[in-house]
Each structure stands twice: as C-alpha cells, then as structure tokens.
C-alpha cells in the first residue's frame, strides 16, 4: 500500500475519517471501479482524468490505464499532482522504474500551471504480470519499446489534461521553443514563457502581445538573434525579422487565440535546440480559487 495526498500544506489528515473511508472503499472494489477512483480523487479539478491504451507484448494483449488529479501548484517535478497507472504487463521492477522516470520526464514534468511546486507530488505505476507474457527486463527490443510507447501515450494524455484543467483555466497552451543555442536555453525560454503572468493573462484575453513573450525570454538572458527571431500565436506569425508582422497579423492571431487549444511558438534563431511545455492561461477564477483555498 502506498499513500498519497494533496491539500493545504502542514495540516494533519483526519485519520479516523480516512480509516472509515479505506474500509468502505475496500468493500466497494470492482473491475469497473477505475472511473469511480478518478472521480473520487478530484479536488479543484473540474473533470475526472482517465486514459488507457492496449499493446501486444509477446503475443499477449496488454492493457495500460491511468488516472490523475491536479489543477494548481503544478510545475516540473509535478507539483500537487497525483497520477496512478495500472498494467497487467509482466515487467521487472528495475526496467519499470527506469521506464517510469522516462515517461515522467516526457509528460508530467513538461507541465506547468502556475510555476509553483508542492510537497506531495506522486506518480505510481503498478504492474501485476497477469497478461502472462515473458517478462520485460531491460530497455531495447521490440516489446520493451512498444511498452514504453504505450506508457508515454497514457502519461502524456493525462499530463495534457492536467494542463487543460489548470485552476480557472480556459485554454490548453503548448509553448514550443525552436532554434535555441542549447537544450538548457530552450528549456529556460519555454518555462519563462509558460510561467509568465503577463503572457498567461494575455492568452486569457486573446491579446496577441508578442512583446510580453520576447521580454520574458530576454529577461532570462536567453540568447536570440533578433533578425532571425520569429513568434507565432495560434499559427499566425506576429513577429519576424526584428519587427512586428503588422496589425492585420495581430488581428488574425487574436482571433486564433480564442480557441480552447492554442500553440505559442518562438524561433530564437540562435541554434538547433528545441523543446515544448504544456501550460494554460490565467483567468479571474485562478485568483478566486486560490484566494480562499484554506477557508
């Protein structure tokens, strides 16, 4: 048994109530209970988060399913986020632990809602081996690769749902940085954009304000070659060759930013490194939810 919890930091859990709940939940176990569990772990989440996929390993059909919760206090190293994955694959603990770390880096550690990391993030994967195929023991080989692809698929689906459901969020935002001088600078630029309050509020208001994006990249001392730098919002180029693309482009971008799922792309013109981060906009409701969180 592994215990996970979120909530106000430093407040003891009501153990008598939790004890009664454990006994009640144990008596209600069922083969169709995963959706109930996804619903039960919600706090400020606005919808339950589930994902699943199937893959063939060693001639046997294998299922991998997962649930997650998380809306606020989300930043790399997962933040206030709980995710539980289940599979009937036969996998050695050593291989499974390494695969899970790779999946986390490609999914939940690519999410930021508000730039805040909490004390209780948890990502667990349970494998019972019931599918009956030859156990996977090391990376490499077709079956191991197929399993990791399935694990990444479920993890990324859940991670994107966490970003989509950020506290008060109205939009899922993918921040893409290309042509950075190094992977570290690509990562820094993407996270500065994704965590900028000015950028996030502009996205909420569908304001095609490319100046806020370049400002936060520059404030991070990230190298860019201005005459080769390009900013696109919702697929519309709004800054290129050292200048604004003009009011008509900005108007088209503002219209594109009204969508529920948008992309912010920045080409720095300084190298070949690239990365991406999933985030969300910042609305009035984020302030409302967090202003009275403990009361």
d(CA 2, CA 16): 18
Q: Tell me, yes or no, if 80 is annotated catalytic.
A: yes
Q: Which residues pair with 173 in a beta bridge?
A: 262, 279
Residues 160-179 as b/e (b if ≥16 CB within 10 A, e otherwise) read bbbbbbbbbbbbbbbbbbbb
Catalytic residue among 6, 53, 63, 80: 80
d(CA 253, CA 155): 31
Residue pair 85/151 in contact by the 8 Å Cβ criterion: yes
- Alpha helix locations (H) across 90-230? 93-106, 142-164, 183-195, 197-204, 210-219
Q: Tokens at residue 149, please?
A: 């692809």
Residues assigned a catalytic role: 80
């Amino acid at each position: 048994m592994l215990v996970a919890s979120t909530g106000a930091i430093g407040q003891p859990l009501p153990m008598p109530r939790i004890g009664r709940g454990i006994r009640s939940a144990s008596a209600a176990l069922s083969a169709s209970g995963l959706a109930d569990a996804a619903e039960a772990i919600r706090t400020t989440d606005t919808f339950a988060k589930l994902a699943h996929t199937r893959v063939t390993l060693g001639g046997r059909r294998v299922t991998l399913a997962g649930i997650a919760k998380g809306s606020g206090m989300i930043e790399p190293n997962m933040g206030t986020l709980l995710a539980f994955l289940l599979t009937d694959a036969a996998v050695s603990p050593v291989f499974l632990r390494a695969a899970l770390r790779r999946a986390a880096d490609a999914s939940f550690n690519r999410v930021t809602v508000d730039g805040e990391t909490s004390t209780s993030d948890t990502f667990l994967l349970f494998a019972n081996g019931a599918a009956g195929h030859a156990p996977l023991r090391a990376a490499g080989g077709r079956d191991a690769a197929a399993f990791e692809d399935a694990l990444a698929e479920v993890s990324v689906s859940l991670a994107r749902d966490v970003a989509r459901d950020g506290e008060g969020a109205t939009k899922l935002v993918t921040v893409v940085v290309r042509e950075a001088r190094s992977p570290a600078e690509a990562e820094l630029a993407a996270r500065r954009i994704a965590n900028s309050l000015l950028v996030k509020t502009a996205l909420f208001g569908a304001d095609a304000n490319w100046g806020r994006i370049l400002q936060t990249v520059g404030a991070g001392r990230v190298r860019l070659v201005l005459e080769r730098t390009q900013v696109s919002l919702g697929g519309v180029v709004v800054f290129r060759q050292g200048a604004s693309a003009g009011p008509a482009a900005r108007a088209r971008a503002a219209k594109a930013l009204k969508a529920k799922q948008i992309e912010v792309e920045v080409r720095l013109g300084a190298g070949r490194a690239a990365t991406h981060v999933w985030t969300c906009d910042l609305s009035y409701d984020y302030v409302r939810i967090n202003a009275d969180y403990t009361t």
